[in-house]
Structure 1
Amino acid sequence: MSGPESSIVQFANVGLRYGTDREVLSDVSFTLYPGSFYFLTGASGAGKTSLLKLLYLAQRPSRGIISMFGEDVITAERRALPEFRRRIGVVFQDFRLVPHLSAYDNVALPLRISGMSEGKLEKPVTDMLEWVGLSHRVDARPETLSGGEQQRVAIARAVIARPEILVADEPTGNVDPEMAVKLLRLFEALNRLGTTVVVATHDVHLLRKVPDSLIMRLDKGRLSDPTGALRYPPRREQRAEA
């Protein structure tokens, strides 16, 4: 395995249990490399969502080591965690849109938090809403949007600030196949700009839609890598030609 200097995330012998229950993740070790695209697969209950929670720092492991951006996040002070999280975009399975904000304002939220002026954020927000097919719903609040529309707003919000890592939990679960492919193309475009993308999905058909992707498979809390994603960095010269 390559050293931390060539990685963006490293897990080493990570375990996770909730309370006194048995571990939901056991001895999970892997390395994520900058600018790579990963699919995380596995049956329902395999631990995909729990692993993603560790990746976007919503949960601390019960044991093991996690380093991100070259720093140990387990021993980092709590006040340092928000800075780490700002570098990570998250598409939640339950969307987590702010209910009193419009679609436009939900998507604009990360840019406002980063300090971007209203004049500068208008174009990227409107362009992003157009890309996900919601230019006609900019003023709609989440309660008036369908599940698929809420999902698209959540994705637009997650990618608008071009995060260094994008973590997506079943991001195409509430949209039709045509929109699912379009959203994957959005993730690919972000990936080509340098973002490391991790998409959790149970839909095996999606795995063929991104030919340059790597696959990590969870089975009862343990991780395997049928494409060698855990052992080797992707071949950058091949990605450059793709």
Structure 2
Amino acid sequence: MPTDPAGQVVQFENVGLRYGAEREVLSDVAFTLYPGGFYFLTGASGAGKTSLLKLLYLAQRPSRGMIRMFGTDAITMPRGDLPVLRRRLGVVFQDFRLVPHLSAFDNVALPLRVAGVSERDLARPVADMLDWVGLADRAHARPATLSGGEQQRVAIARAVIGRPELLIADEPTGNVDAAMAAKLMQLFEALNRLGTTVVVATHDLQLLRRVPDSLIMRLDRGRLSDPTGALRYPPRSGAALRDAP
């Protein structure tokens, strides 16, 4: 198993998570995500997917174990340093989390503005991204006037506009039709080919078959199933779906 932290995007070792005095919702979770990998996270409702995603995008700290992100100990680092680390992530939330008083354009532009990109330099990329997700004509609309599917597409555009090093998407196609789902997955694949590590949590088994070089992470009652050992090593072409349902 590779041990060079610089060659790993995320490393979990013996991670456990419990809320209060309740039993652990995640137990002894261990895996490594490598640069350029495409990973699907699956599991039944209540398996712990949401809790695992919260650990991945640094919204929650584990009860025990070790998490390293981009070679940095994400557990012991000062909370004041977390925003810098989070800027290397793109997150698509299941509940969208758009800023209600901002237009679709301004929601998508937000990560670029936070990163210090000038208005002149961000206008074209944001417009192109909105066009890609089919919302060029809704650029000035606020979230309350958008449908659930439109809000989902704005959320995805916002997550990928800055070409994050790690993209985490929670049920990203749950509110769109099949044609748009296919187009959005093409966007994720294109970003992945540019070097972004992608993690998609989904119940849609059809999505697992759309990305032939993906690896599958299955959660079962808080434990990660890894029958092939695939998650312990850098992804290899063609290794992805040998255990797909």
TM bin (shorter chain)? over 0.9
Distance in 2 (CA, whole Å) between partners of 1:50 and 1:168 is 13
| Cα distance, 1:153 vs structure 2 | 0.1
Q: Cα offset for 1:226?
A: 4.7
The one-character-per-residue Cα deviations of 1:38-64 (angstroms, maximum 9, x if unpaired) are 000001111111101000000000000
Q: Which deviates more, 227-236 or 89-98?
A: 227-236
Equivalent in the alignment of 2:11: 10
- Is contact 2:43–2:219 with CA below 8 Å preserved after alignment? yes
- 2:193 and 2:223 map into 1 onto residues whose CA distance is 29
CA spacing shift, 1:233–1:52, aligned 2, 3 Å: same
Question: Which residue number in structure 2 is paired with residue 53 of structure 1?
Answer: 54
- The answer (yes or no) to whether the contact 1:214–1:228 under 8 Å persists in 2 is no
SS in 2 for 1:29: strand
Closer, same or farther: CA 227–177 of 1 in aligned 2, 3 Å: farther
Aligned positions of 1:76-225 closer than 5 A: 76-225=77-226
Counterpart of 1:92, as a letter, is: F
- TM-score norm. by structure 1 comes to 0.96
- Matching residue's letter, 1:5: A
* RMSD (Å) for aligned C-alpha atoms: 1.5
| TM-fit CA distance, 1:71 | 1.0
Distance between the aligned counterparts of 2:190 and 2:200, measured in 1?
14
Query: Partner of 2:16: helix, strand, or coil?
Result: strand
The 4+ residue runs of structure 1 with deviation greater than 4 A are 236-239
Which runs of no fewer than 5 residues in structure 1 stay unpaired? none
Match in the other structure for 1:62: 63
Correspondence for 1:229: 230
Cα deviation for residue 234 of structure 1 reads 1.4
1:227 shift after superposition? 5.4
Aligned sequence identity (%): 78
User: What TM-score, normalized by structure 2, do the two folds share?
Assistant: 0.95
| Cα shift at 1:205 | 1.0
Residue aligned with 2:129, SS: helix
Offset at residue 99 of structure 1 (A): 0.1
Could you tell me how far apart the structure 2 residues matched to 1:84 and 1:70 are?
Answer: 11
Consecutive unaligned residues of structure 2, counting only runs of 5 or more, are: 241-245
Q: Match of 1:29?
A: 30
Q: Distance in 1 between matches of 2:228 and 2:180?
A: 27
How many angstroms apart in 1 are the aligned matches of 2:204 and 2:178? 11
Q: Distance in 1 between matches of 2:227 and 2:173?
A: 23
Residue equivalent to 2:20: 19
5-14 vs 160-169, greater mean Cα deviation: 5-14
Instruction: Give the secondary structure class of the aligned counterpart of 2:230.
Output: coil
Instruction: Using the TM superposition, give the Cα deviation of residue 229 of structure 1 relative to its aligned residue in structure 2, in angstroms.
Output: 3.2
Partner AA of 2:223 in structure 1: R
Residue 224 of structure 1, CA deviation: 1.2
2:189 alignment partner, SS class: helix
Give the counterpart letter for 1:38 in structure 2.
Y
Judge conservation of contact 1:17–1:25 (CA < 8 Å) in 2: yes
- CA distance in 2: counterparts of 1:64 and 1:11, whole angstroms: 8
Q: What are the Cα deviations for residues 115-142 of structure 1, in whole angstroms up to 9, with x where unaligned?
A: 0000000000000000000001000000
Q: In 1, Cα distance between the equivalents of 2:140 and 2:15?
A: 43
**In 2, Cα distance between equivalents of 1:117 and 1:68:** 29
Shift of 1:84: 0.5
* 1:74 matched to 2:75: yes
8 Å contact 2:112–2:161 — kept in the other structure?
yes
